Chains A and B, each alone.
Chain A
């Protein structure tokens, strides 16, 4: 007699599930279902891939259902008997969660910030504005590039920096922050924070309604929404965002280097909004004896899940729909980095224009040298892209 047992038949469901819960790779589940029809049925019936994803990312418990807008079985289930519909729904979940798990483990790791939304306070806007944190250098030409909070006499007053990520769904693995060392001040103080904490979430759906009402004409919802968000949350913006994940506190060193804050487990950011909370101030500015926090650079590293996946939110509910838009692996970074680099060019341009208008930061002396030809060609390129 050949050695070997079809254990799905032999063991009861609970024990079989216990065995399969040890599988961590979605490919293993998929290959398991290719063994025989009854094995495939078991995997689909018991939603094993869905449970795998939920184990990896508890944030997925908010998923109401999945939509498949690609592949051979597009769209929603057709009318039919409820058993048939249920089975189709289970199969759809199987396909979507399989590729989702795959994406969360193996899409390329890259910088995830798309743009800066708002800081809780800024000392001199825009010279010390939050967009500077997207520039890795702490000086550009002879101009310092950093964000500074307003000064406070109480060092316990926290600050927040809020960013929009490049995809509605991103698996975040780590965040890197470089505090700013004021190289132009005596003693070269480093304005770090005592510790940091991270939040992830989405723009509250009530904001969507405000946006939709006020921009009936322009089709560009996203940038309008950002403007409205920026205008209506001058102080801290927290009322406009719903946070679905808050990390532990990580201590921050008072060192002028890119400090790595690795999340204990990768976290799924649903909604594309990430906020850095800077807790506790450590450095006083000699000039005014107030405590400041300044950040030179922020990097968020993770795996963006678009364009393969998207989400749909509901108006008055925390639930959302997970949508599979494509079963192709996203292509290399070269393609999708065009948006951020355009942002950078626009930002540099704004700062150059600011200088022209004579907005100069008190403590920094500058004489800025730039090449006029380059600036003009930047403007030209920007106009062309706008016209597209």
Chain B
């Protein structure tokens, strides 16, 4: 009997009904449990998930089931890319996905979405995190100072990717490079200081600090460049050690 094409009906909180293949639906441990222990013919209620979110989740499950079963010709790298694009959603949707994945017990989706949120925190300054998640800063100035002092090494960013501008750039090249760079810090070579203002304007939007060479006490101390890669003509990305206030 064709058990491979068994369908399961799911009804969401906003009364939408989805009919999906069993193999896809049982990616959710919750649905699997209900299906195996309840009556397989009736519709399964997923109370806490809306239609939009369930639709996205089913896309995810289908993609992963098909790729694992070899039904779709997709390499692990392509699947990884697909996952990365899947989570490029606004924050509300992202947290809805997290809540749904948790409730439906879909381990891999929960891992993926949690990692995505963590990536929004990694390497960020407290002010940036507050902006990202719209958090109210309820510290008094003294209390915040005390917290920063307690582990002050965490607020000196030591080491990371910096960008160095070495040639005069046209506006569009410059803006393309600033957009594509992974840098937290941009250093402008001594003979290109004329570009300082225009780069600063672009860089500030991405929270990139701009400094000029030669070094003075406030410039990041460039200790060593370990890796180097050309981002665009006139821009070099270097891994170097620097200290700047986080």
Which residues from chain A sit less than 8 Å from chain B, CB to CB? Answer: 2-7, 10-12, 14-15, 18-20, 22-23, 25-28, 30-40, 71-72, 95, 98-99, 102, 106, 329
Contacts and interface: CB of A to CB of B under 8 A. Distances in A.
Contacts of A38: 138
A37 B98 contact: no
A372 B125 CA distance: 62
B86 to A, nearest CB: 17
B158 interface: yes
Interface string B120-143: 011111100111111111110001
B177 to A, nearest CB: 27
Nearest to A73: B150
A2 B121 CA distance: 18
A5 B122 contact: no
Interface of B: 90-92, 95, 98-99, 102, 110-111, 114-115, 117-119, 121-126, 129-139, 143-144, 147-148, 150-151, 153-155, 157-158, 246
Contacts of B137: 35-36
Contact of A23 (B92, B122, B143): B122
A18 B114 contact: yes
Contact of A31 (B91, B129, B138, B139): B129
Chain A contact residues: helix, strand, loop or mixed: helix
B98 A15 contact: yes
A31 B135 contact: no
B130 A25 contact: no
Nearest to B143: A37
A22 B115 contact: yes
Contact of A36 (B98, B110, B130, B131): B130
Contact of A22 (B118, B150, B155): B118
Given A11-B98, A33-B147, A98-B154, A23 B121 contact: yes
B147 A4 contact: no
B95 to A, nearest CB: 5
A102 B150 CA distance: 13
A74 to B, nearest CB: 14
A109 to B, nearest CB: 14
A3 B122 contact: no
A14 B103 CA distance: 12
Nearest to A98: B151
30 contacts: A3-B90, A4-B131, A7-B95, A7-B117, A10-B95, A11-B99, A11-B102, A15-B98, A15-B99, A23-B121, A25-B122, A25-B123, A27-B157, A28-B123, A31-B126, A31-B154, A32-B129, A33-B147, A34-B144, A34-B147, A34-B148, A34-B155, A36-B130, A36-B135, A36-B138, A37-B138, A40-B147, A99-B153, A102-B151, A102-B154
Nearest to B133: A4
B130 A95 contact: no
Contact of A39 (B90, B119, B135): B135
Given A18-B110, A36-B139, A329-B153, A6 B134 contact: yes
B133 A5 contact: yes
Most buried by A among B119, B143, B151: B151
A213 B120 CA distance: 58
B144 A2 contact: no
Given A22-B118, A38-B138, A72-B150, 6 more contacts: A3-B134, A11-B95, A25-B123, A27-B154, A35-B129, A102-B151
Contacts of A329: 153
A271 B143 CA distance: 38
A106 B158 contact: yes
B134 A5 contact: yes
B133 A6 contact: yes
Nearest to B101: A15
Given A23-B121, A28-B122, A32-B129, A15 B134 contact: no
A3 B114 CA distance: 18
B118 A31 contact: no
A19 B134 CA distance: 17
A95 B136 CA distance: 24
Contacts of A71: 150
A38 B122 CA distance: 19
Contacts of A20: 118
Contacts of B139: 34, 36-37
Given A36-B136, A36-B137, A4 B91 contact: yes
Shortest 5 CB-CB distances between A and B: which pairs?
A4-B134, A22-B118, A30-B154, A27-B154, A34-B126
B118 A35 contact: no
Given A15-B98, A37-B143, A102 B153 contact: yes
Nearest to A23: B118
A12 B138 CA distance: 21
A6 B246 CA distance: 21
A379 to B, nearest CB: 40
B92 A3 contact: yes
A5 B119 CA distance: 15
Contacts of B118: 19-20, 22-23
A95 B151 contact: yes
